[in-house]
Structure 1
């Protein structure tokens, strides 16, 4: 069975989440909830094992302009800790071909995202190790870190392109190119390491 881009677009656009960005309840303080750098949720130091509960919490999560994360309902807003970003992109598929292709991501909490101008892929550098840390914007100001296996798949799909005047490895999705890192030019490839 061939998956069509139109079907995936309809599925992704059909996802609904509560309108947390429109809710402005009073801040009720912080709670002892944490999301670790691998997207695992903890309450009072204990992992939350119920996947449905984690998915529910993820739908009312919001990151405000102050950079902090909150669980928000119409009547309360509580702060939680997030070590890096709240979600992990655990799968990527290329849907369609050529100019009509898209990168379809799935997160550890069930969100599905098509990389595009509103959901860009970006790669930062780990300040300690110097390794690439790839992300995709899921919704609002919430990002997912792209797990290693899907990132390797992106690298396999990448082409050399000039991005902002620099040779880069980049992937294409929904009329956008996203840089994954610097491309090795012939001159750079000759430098001994």
Structure 2
């Protein structure tokens, strides 16, 4: 069955985005208890490129498949998990990259939706917080994805969110760098 990428994020309503999120079927890794552990010889670079034994994985379908098996434990270590094996994977920064963002306002409630480099969609909110890390001079913004995994906002997505934050702040008469999505407020300064 050929892969059909989701429609362009800007063309979707919040309801359509939520339906796309709901339609994504992920493996039930939370219920798996593999007995074997090892090394995957894989790495996710800071720019979101996946590597195996030093060579980039160029097949996007492989990256999407592996991303559904990815978890992060309480100590911050990343693993690819199957019912039989738990293989460590090096992640330089974040497991995903947020490559686009839209602001939607339905029923008077703002929502911020992000597209990831794996074509997944995430709506920021209680289960998917926006996190500010780094320093005031070199901030980095992330959105929580699942299983302890985050997506770092790339430069253009960071700019989209900053422009939204400025618009919200100036409408309130200040510059507090806070945005809201799905009833939650997120501060964009570390």
TM-score bucket (shorter structure): 0.7 to 0.9
Secondary structure of the residue aligned to 2:58 is: coil
1:31-75 deviation digits (Å, cap 9, x = unpaired): 211001111100010000111011111010111123211111111
User: Which residue is 1:118 aligned to?
Assistant: 127
Which of 40, 48, 63 is matched with 2:72 structurally? 63
Structure 2 residues without counterparts, runs of 5 or longer: 1-9
User: Which residue is 1:175 aligned to?
Assistant: 183
1:146-176 deviation digits (Å, cap 9, x = unpaired): 1111111111111339xxxxx7211121111
Paired with 1:180 and 1:12, the residues of 2 have a C-alpha distance of 24
**Is 1:155 the counterpart of 2:143 in the alignment?**
no
Would the aligned equivalents of 1:125 and 1:131 in 2 still touch at CA under 8 Å? yes
Q: TM-score normalized by structure 1?
A: 0.83
User: Which residue is 2:41 aligned to?
Assistant: 32
C-alpha displacement of 1:2: 6.5
Query: How many residue pairs were aligned?
Result: 175
User: Which residue is 1:17 aligned to?
Assistant: 26
Paired with 1:80 and 1:21, the residues of 2 have a C-alpha distance of 18
Structure with bigger gyration radius: 1
Structure 1 residues without counterparts, runs of 5 or longer: 162-166, 183-193
Would the aligned equivalents of 2:36 and 2:84 in 1 still touch at CA under 8 Å? no
How large is the Cα RMSD of the aligned pairs? 2.1
User: Which residue is 2:113 aligned to?
Assistant: 104
C-alpha displacement of 1:98: 7.1
C-alpha displacement of 1:4: 2.6
Runs of 4+ in 1 over 4 A off after TM superposition: none
Q: TM-score normalized by structure 2?
A: 0.85
Secondary structure of the residue aligned to 1:7 is: helix
C-alpha displacement of 1:110: 1.5
Would the aligned equivalents of 1:3 and 1:95 in 2 still touch at CA under 8 Å? no
